[in-house]
Amino acid sequence: MMFPLARNTLRSLKIRSIQQIRARQSHRKHSPDFHDKYGNAVLASGTAFCVVAWIVTTTQIGIEWNLSPVGRVTPKEWNDK
Q: Give the pLDDT confidence score for residue 33 in this predicted structure.
A: 85
pTM for the whole structure: 0.44
The C-alpha angle with vertex 30 and arms to 28 and 33, in degrees rounded to 5, equals 150
Per-residue pLDDT of 11-69, as tens digits, reads 666 666 666 666 665 666 667 888 888 999 999 999 999 999 999 988 888 777 667 77
Stated as kind and residue range, the H or E segment containing 44 is: helix 34-60
- Rounded Cα distance between 41 and 35, Å, is 9
- Give the dihedral sign, CA 64/66/71/74: positive
Q: Give the pLDDT confidence score for residue 34 in this predicted structure.
A: 85
Round the CA-based radius of gyration of the chain to a whole number and report it.
30
